[in-house]
Amino acid sequence: MSRPLGADTTRAGADTTNRAEAPRTALVLSYSDIASDPRVRREIDWLVDDGWVVDTLGLGEHPTDEVRDHFALADPLAWTRGRVGALLVHLLLPARMRFRALMTARVPRVLRERVRSGHYDLVVFNELEFAPWVDDSRDFTPEAGRGLRHLDLHEYHNPDVRRQNLGGKITGPQYRWTRSHIGSAGFTSRTVVNTPIGRLYADEFGIAVPAEVRNAPPYVSDLEPSAVDADDIRLLFHGLPSWSRGFTEILAAMRELPPRFSMTFMLTSNPAVHAHLRSELETHPARERIRIVPPAPMREIAQRINEYDVEIVFYRPKGINLQYAMPNKFFEAAQGRLALVVGETETMAPIVRQYGHGVVVPEFTAESLRDTLAGLDAERVREMKEKAAEAAAAMNSETEGRAFLAAIKASARESEGR
């Protein structure tokens, strides 16, 4: 190991002896294009700012200059591809061999050698895809086991999600086997997107409730709320386009809202959803007041949405992840100094009431959303936008990063105490 686990991680506070030692090294794993994955990018920022040298394994190109070495996951083995390959893998191989064929075999050899040698003081597993690797003694050797292994869970993974069709029935056993590693003793610490989801995992797997690390972006200190035009209160939905995220209710509400309200969808790519939305707008009575615009770059969202007035985060709780949703846009809206309109949820509604930077829709219906929005005037929106500054200062990646690092450091202290 490069540095004693649990050593002082602040650069200014490190003594001469610690500075002379090699820096601690971390490997961040994510089955995603890390460059465009905001949660994983924040983890990298937190670790680098805390003095770690960070390598990554994932999809896509080198994600950021802060990463020392990026290892791209190779293409799937030729014999595992296609319908025949999937049948061979899922019907003939036992779970561990399936995982090795589908995932481990795609990890570059040089990285596997680093892991085996104990090169990393910390390995961060994002989500489930790589989780079984922690229990594979071929790579997580006793040398590798001297480091920390952290699991970060971005959402709730339903154990029954893949039982709905033939393909799901074929791949479902591997999914559930992979999912079972959430409770693996190989992990020294865990974090989760919010505490209600963490409690579900704790109850199921008999583990401690993972520490809460929410999807909050960096704090933007120098942004003021934009002016509110009483004749054009600008409503916004930004982010991932999905009809499960309130589009139906928003469009229905806009049919009957007074003309002082306009609506903007600032959406990332999804051609099918975009086409459906544009089709709906062709005959919508308020189509002149509804528009679709391109997404903002990830690091510029607060500045780009600042011109708007009210962010709508209205998800019918049709599943556990929607029931307990705390999406990026909920926190990004505060950084952009927007007022918020949310549904009556266990996660978002209490925060909106605490800071007063939004209103809560009492029922998950288009009518209730319409009535709540219709009750807003320019003065009320101005008041909520001003209060968003307090929420932005309290909920941001800096505060969440402290929770992330604290969870890892706590496990380091426990390891040293054994």
204-210 own/partner pairs: CB under 8 Å, 24+ apart:
207/182, 207/183, 210/151, 210/153, 210/407
| Domain annotation covers residue 223 | no
Q: Are 311 and 340 in contact (CB under 8 A)?
A: yes
In sequence order, the 6+-apart residues with CB closer than 8 A to the CB of 256 are 370
- At residue 234, φ and ψ (nearest 5 deg) are -95, 110
Q: Which pairs with CB-CB distance under 8 Å and at least 24 residues apart come from 41-49?
A: 41/298, 42/217, 42/218, 42/397, 42/400, 42/401, 43/124, 43/126, 43/152, 43/404, 45/218, 45/397, 45/401, 46/397, 46/401, 46/404, 46/405, 47/122, 47/124, 47/405, 49/401
Rounded average pLDDT over 122-150: 98
Residue 288 domain-assigned? yes
Distances (CA, A) of 28 to 70, 175, 382, 406: 9, 22, 41, 17
* Domain interval for residue 321: 233-395
Which tokens belong to 204?
């199921």
> What length is written for the chain?
418
pLDDT greater than 60 at residue 54: yes
Query: Residue 300: inside a domain, yes or no?
Result: yes
1 falls within a domain: no
Domain identity same for 211 and 70: yes
Task: Give the pLDDT of residue 347.
Answer: 96
The pLDDT assigned to 4 comes to 38
- Per residue in 345-362, pLDDT tens? 999 999 999 999 999 999
The pTM of this model reads 0.88
pLDDT for position 22: 80
Q: Are residues 272 and 388 in the same domain?
A: yes
- Give, in degrees to the nearest 5, the angle at Cα 187 between 184 and 191: 105
Question: H helices of 78-227, where?
Answer: 82-92, 95-102, 109-116, 166-179, 195-205
What is the predicted pLDDT for the residue at 293? 98
- Same domain as 355, residue 272: yes
Query: Tell me: the pLDDT tens digits for 270-286?
Result: 999 999 999 999 999 99
Does residue 127 sit in the same domain as residue 276? Answer: no
If one counts every other C-beta atom within 10 angstroms of the C-beta of residue 301, the result is 23
Q: Is the per-residue pLDDT at 166 higher than 80?
A: no
Average pLDDT, the chain: 93
Q: Is the pLDDT of residue 315 over 80?
A: yes
- Same domain membership, residue 378 and residue 356: yes
CATH of the domain at 386: 3.40.50.2000
Q: Give yes or no: residues 207 and 265 share one domain.
A: no
- Write out the two tokens for 416: 């040293």
DSSP string of 126-164, one letter each residue: ESSTTGGGGG-TTTS-TTGGGSEEEEEE-S---TTTT-S
Reported as a pLDDT band with limits 50, 70 and 90, residue 415 is low
Same domain, 313 and 202: no
User: Would you say residue 315 lies in a domain?
Assistant: yes
In DSSP notation, 29-59 reads: EEEEEGGG-HHHHHHHHHHHHTT-EEEEEEE
Reply yes or no on whether the pLDDT at 253 is more than 50: yes
Same domain as 374, residue 405: no
Same domain, residue pair 318 and 388: yes
Q: Are residues 305 and 168 in the same domain?
A: no
The answer to whether residue 5 sits within a structural domain is: no
241 shares a domain with 185: no
pLDDT over 70 (residue 414): yes
pLDDT score for 174: 95
pLDDT over threshold 60, residue 294 = yes
Write down the pLDDT at residue 406: 98
Between 163 and 345, residue with greater pLDDT:
345
> How many folded domains does the chain comprise?
2
Query: Residue 261 belongs to what H/E stretch?
Result: strand 261-267
Q: Is residue 242 part of a domain?
A: yes
Query: What's the sign of the alpha-carbon dihedral 240, 56, 148, 14?
Result: negative
Asked whether residue 11 is domain-assigned, the answer is no
Same domain, 318 and 380: yes
